[in-house]
Amino acid sequence: MKARILIIDDEKHIRFTVKEFLLKDGYDVSAVENFDEALKILNTECIDVVLTDIVLEGKTGIDLLRVVNEKHLNCPVIVFTGYPNLESASESVRLGAYDYMAKPVKKEALLRVIGMALRHKTLVEEKNSSHANLKAIFQSVTDAIITVDKDLKVIELNDAAKTICGFSREEVMGKSIDSIPKTCCGHCVDAIKKTILEKRPLEIYRTECMHQTRKGQLVTLKTFPLTDGIDGCVIVVKDETHIFNLEKELEGRQRFYNSIGKDKEMQAIYSLIENLQNIDTTVLLTGESGTGKGLIAEAIHNGGVRRQGPLIKVDCSALTETLLESELFGHVKGSFTSAISDKEGRFQKADGGTIFLDEIGDASLSVQQRLLKVIQEKEFERVGDATPIKVDVRVVAATNQNLQEEVRLKRFRKDLYYRLNIVEISIPPLRDRKADIPLLVEHFIKMFRKKINKDINELSSDVYNLFMNYEWPGNIRELQNAIEHSFIVCNKTVITVEDLPKEFREIKTTRSMGEKSCGHDRILQALEKTHWNKASAAKLLGISRRSVYNKIKEYNIRPEKSSM
Ligand SMILES: Nc1ncnc2c1ncn2[C@@H]1O[C@H](COP(=O)(O)OP(=O)(O)OP(=O)(O)O)[C@@H](O)[C@H]1O
């Protein structure tokens, strides 16, 4: 595109001559005779260079220069005059004229100056655009960036400084960073001073700001000395609070409500329970006896929207069919021999809350039918009464039986199984999460220290080894019982093997626990019996598939060694 030149001169022949040779040189030229016409063009068009005479009708070229400045037009102004003098020359220079030329202006000289003015204009545009880019980057960075000079005076800061450090541009620009009232521990100011003094970069990893309004804010500070042009320092403050919290979360929660454990599978269970927080769905808890299904049921209730309502537990294995029906749904007086008065059932008691049906696999088919009705229709009848009672209850059921197998054997209703199994939470046995043993031990030691009031602090390393090698068929309940037993027996501060229940002591004196419970021979036997099908061997041994793989590796068992 051709460069646009505006000529302002009241002498017609100069306008004509200059315009002609500029047109010939390839410029796009407008030539006007006074200030007002020039202003009109500057207001409406993009002009690249202005050539103006000083003396204009009623105004001057200097006035035009002022307008260009006021409007922040990036357009170099070349002033020429037939009456050159010091006053107009110095005023032109002061106002930023690109050049000041005396008439008569030589063609070559003018073309050279215009060429230089255009290059200057391009450079200014490039500088402005990279400055705008840098400013946009500076402001968009989410780390606080603050620049100070060697006297600690703030010379630049971005918007993130307000979020992280709490002070705005207006409050601190031009002030010494040391004089700003402190709302934090001031580690950053110390780092800046040190950087300026020692002229070397510094990094402070994750320090707590102790900020009055940003509790727990953790930041990483990086400083760089400024030595090129301005002496001083730039500091970058990165808020790592969120990352730190996420890292901590990833490391795993060691406790979820009353359930202790940081195992990966337990973490997944905790997350699932959190996802169920606002969903009123039925949950089926599966897992061996003693794995903590009761605690998980409590966590589901306490972590959900019904936490203000009651949590009612019913052990379906503890009562006969009639008693269980009456316990769950209530009865009216005389409905069976021992029904001497009306009784409110557990479902009614659980209204607005959660009912936990433990050992659901032991409920009779008749109870199962009633359960299906209350889950589906949210109403039930008391034993001996046909009046339906409405209830709003969330059902959490648990079993250590294989319900699918029970369904296959027609001992458990398929429809009820699917109704209960909308969300299944399978709790791993303790042998598959042995890394949780130290945490659980610590928890139970604390618990029994309080309950039994003995100053016992730890387990001996022998006991630890034993616990880590044991297969824990009774899971966490067995571990809890073993520690409780030891607390009663132990009269020292450390529990040793002699304090453990008899079963453990016997194992210790014969072979190592691992060998006894699932040793080389047993694993090999199971593998041979199942033709090396690891899943079937695991089932046979009552351990997980992962444990079978671990044992094969541990005992270096190979198919060729066996009689396959
Ligand atoms: N993760 C755990 N953290 C702390 N204590 C636990 C944990 N899991 C289980 N326990 C404790 O172990 C005992 C047995 O737990 P719980 O009754 O919840 O197991 P369960 O799987 O429901 O057993 P069952 O199937 O025999 O009813 C309880 O005393 C419980 O407090």
* Ligand 1 pocket member 294 (CB < 6 A): yes
pLDDT at residue number 512: 41
Same domain, 289 and 303: yes
Q: What is the domain count for the chain?
A: 5
User: Does 249 reside within a domain?
Assistant: no
Where is 205: in which H helix or E strand? strand 202-208
Residue 500: alpha-carbon gap to chain centroid: 44
Same domain, 471 and 390: no
Atom of ligand 1 nearest to the CA of 358: 27
* Ligand 1 pocket member 433 (CB < 6 A): no
Ligand 1: centre distance to CA 296 (Å)? 9
Q: What is the CATH number of the domain that holds 212?
A: 3.30.450.20
pLDDT at residue number 510: 43
* Ligand 1 pocket member 399 (CB < 6 A): no
Same domain, 269 and 412: yes
Where is 305: in which H helix or E strand? none
Q: Tokens standing for 227?
A: 């030595």
Ligand 1: centre distance to CA 564 (Å)? 41
Q: Tokens standing for 497?
A: 């093997």
* Ligand 1 pocket member 261 (CB < 6 A): yes
User: Does 191 reside within a domain?
Assistant: yes
Same domain, 168 and 283: no
Distances (CA, A) of 309 to 167, 188, 352: 47, 50, 5
Q: Is 184 helix (H, G, I), strand (E, B) or coil?
A: coil
* Ligand 1 pocket member 293 (CB < 6 A): yes
User: Does 200 reside within a domain?
Assistant: yes
* Ligand 1 pocket member 222 (CB < 6 A): no
Same domain, 372 and 460: no
* Ligand 1 pocket member 260 (CB < 6 A): yes
Q: What is the CATH number of the domain that holds 493?
A: 1.10.8.60
> Which residue of 288, 293, 295, 430 sits with most ligand 1 atoms within 8 Å of its CB, as the best mutation to test the pocket?
295
Ligand 1: centre distance to CA 438 (Å)? 16
* Ligand 1 pocket member 288 (CB < 6 A): no
* Ligand 1 pocket member 43 (CB < 6 A): no
Ligand 1: centre distance to CA 259 (Å)? 8
Ligand 1: centre distance to CA 39 (Å)? 88
User: Does 549 reside within a domain?
Assistant: yes
Same domain, 288 and 235: no
Contact (CB, 8 A) for 8 and 61: yes
Q: Is 556 helix (H, G, I), strand (E, B) or coil?
A: coil
Task: Choose one of 396, 426, 456: the last residue of a domain.
Answer: 426
Ligand 1: centre distance to CA 181 (Å)? 54
Nearest CA, atom 7, ligand 1: 292
Ligand 1: centre distance to CA 255 (Å)? 14
Ligand 1: centre distance to CA 436 (Å)? 14
Task: Choose one of 426, 451, 472: the last residue of a domain.
Answer: 426
d(CA 197, CA 189): 12
Task: Choose one of 133, 160, 180: the last residue of a domain.
Answer: 133
Q: Which amino acid is at 533?
A: N
Same domain, 204 and 101: no
Nearest CA, atom 9, ligand 1: 292
Around 152, how many Cα atoms within 13 Å sit in the side-chain half-sphere? 14
Atom of ligand 1 nearest to the CA of 479: 12
HEC readout, 337-400: CCCCCCEECHHHHCCCCEEEEECHHHCCHHHHHHHHHHHHHCEEECECCCCEEECCCEEEEEEC
Ligand 1: centre distance to CA 261 (Å)? 12
Same domain, 377 and 392: yes
Same domain, 402 and 269: yes
Domain holding 471, by residue range, is: 430-516
User: Does 251 reside within a domain?
Assistant: no
pLDDT tens by residue, the chain, 564 residues: 899 999 999 999 999 999 999 999 999 999 999 999 999 999 999 999 999 999 988 899 999 999 999 999 999 999 999 988 999 999 999 999 999 999 888 999 999 999 999 999 999 999 999 999 988 888 889 999 999 999 999 999 999 999 999 888 888 999 999 888 888 888 899 999 999 999 999 988 888 888 888 888 999 999 999 987 788 999 999 999 998 888 777 666 888 999 999 898 999 999 999 999 888 899 999 999 999 999 999 999 999 989 999 999 999 998 888 899 999 999 998 877 777 889 999 999 999 999 999 999 999 999 999 999 999 999 999 999 999 999 999 999 999 999 999 999 999 999 999 999 999 999 999 999 998 999 999 999 999 999 999 999 989 988 988 999 899 999 999 999 999 999 999 999 999 999 999 888 877 544 444 434 567 777 887 788 787 888 777 766 666 677 778 788 777 787 754 433
The alpha carbons of the chain give a radius of gyration, in whole angstroms, of: 43
* Ligand 1 pocket member 81 (CB < 6 A): no
Where is 176: in which H helix or E strand? none
User: Does 250 reside within a domain?
Assistant: no
Ligand 1: centre distance to CA 365 (Å)? 27
| Ramachandran category for residue 430: left, alpha or beta (phi over 0 → left; psi -120 to 50 → alpha) | alpha
ipTM of the complex: 0.99
* Ligand 1 pocket member 316 (CB < 6 A): no
Q: What is the CATH number of the domain that holds 407?
A: 3.40.50.300
Q: Is 99 helix (H, G, I), strand (E, B) or coil?
A: strand
User: Does 252 reside within a domain?
Assistant: no
Same domain, 435 and 419: no
> Which residue of 291, 442, 472, 484 sits with most ligand 1 atoms within 8 Å of its CB, as the best mutation to test the pocket?
291
User: Does 452 reside within a domain?
Assistant: yes
Q: What is the CATH number of the domain that holds 128?
A: 3.40.50.2300
Phi, psi of 221 (to 5 degrees): -110, 135
Atom of ligand 1 nearest to the CA of 427: 21
Ligand 1: centre distance to CA 298 (Å)? 11
pLDDT at residue number 326: 93
Ligand 1: centre distance to CA 314 (Å)? 15
Ligand 1: centre distance to CA 496 (Å)? 24
d(CA 9, CA 30): 11
* Ligand 1 pocket member 286 (CB < 6 A): no
Same domain, 320 and 386: yes
Atom of ligand 1 nearest to the CA of 291: 21
Q: What is the CATH number of the domain that holds 532?
A: 1.10.10.60
pLDDT at residue number 282: 95
Q: Tokens standing for 494?
A: 């450390």
Distances (CA, A) of 198 to 1, 21, 177, 194, 241: 53, 61, 18, 6, 29
What burial letters (b/e) apply to 88-98, b meaning 16+ CB within 10 Å? bbebbeebebb
Same domain, 414 and 265: yes
d(CA 519, CA 362): 33
* Ligand 1 pocket member 345 (CB < 6 A): no
